[in-house]
Amino acid sequence: MMILVDTNILSTFGKVGGLKLLFELFQTKLSISSNVFCEISIAYEKEYSFAKSVLDCIKNEKIDVVAVDQEDLPYMLGLPKSFGPGERDSIAICENRGYVFLSNEKKVYNYCKKHGIQCLLLPHLLKSLWKENILNKEDVKELITEIESKDNIVIADKDSIFS
């Protein structure tokens, strides 16, 4: 299984020192699109805390950077203009090459679901962490609290993560 990760998931897990959890969960090297790499590089230049840990994973070959190729381009043309560059090339790569996309954008998830592209949101990942015995439920609850605090987001419907 090939996994392509959006900037928002890398940011969320990076801010809480949790990138290693993604590697444990998927037991494989992760990938990012070239536009996601650009977004991470800009975040690094702005000294965002999570960016260095992501770039270190690239340097240590735990994360690959995947470029859009000629065969991916037709898939990009039909994507909504409301998607950012990282989302656009990531979705095109996933659709053309059969990758699984990790994102925390509901609009991206809905588009992927409608078009038969496998996409996992943050709550899916959090649920999988305890279901796969990487963390216990209490640790996931603590992780959620830390994510909400450090990433300044609210994870809705927490009960579904634990059902």
Distance, in Å, from the CA atom of 163 to the CA atom of 157, rounded to the nearest integer, reads 11
User: Per the domain annotation, does 123 fall within a domain?
Assistant: yes
User: Per the domain annotation, does 140 fall within a domain?
Assistant: yes
- Beta partners for 63? 30
Average pLDDT of the chain is 96
**Mean per-residue pLDDT, 134-153:** 96
pLDDT band for 147, please (50, 70, 90 cuts). very high
User: Per the domain annotation, does 78 fall within a domain?
Assistant: no
Q: pLDDT value at position 156? A: 86
User: Per the domain annotation, does 24 fall within a domain?
Assistant: yes
User: Per the domain annotation, does 75 fall within a domain?
Assistant: no
Angle between helices 122-131 and 7-15 (to 10 degrees): 50
Name 145's Cβ contacts closer than 8 Å, sequence gap at least 6. none
Check: CB of residue 91 under 8 Å from CB of residue 113: no
At 121-137, the pLDDT tens digits run: 999 999 999 999 999 99
Q: What CATH number is given to the structural domain containing 126?
A: 3.40.50.1010
Distance, in Å, from the CA atom of 67 to the CA atom of 47, rounded to the nearest integer, reads 25
**Mean per-residue pLDDT, 58-86:** 93
Distance, in Å, from the CA atom of 29 to the CA atom of 64, rounded to the nearest integer, reads 7
Distance, in Å, from the CA atom of 161 to the CA atom of 148, rounded to the nearest integer, reads 15
At 26-53, the pLDDT tens digits run: 999 999 999 999 999 999 999 998 999 9
Tokens 């702005």 correspond to what residue?
46
* Residues spanned by the domain of 22: 3-69+83-161
pLDDT band for 78, please (50, 70, 90 cuts). confident
Question: What is the total count of domains within the chain?
Answer: 1
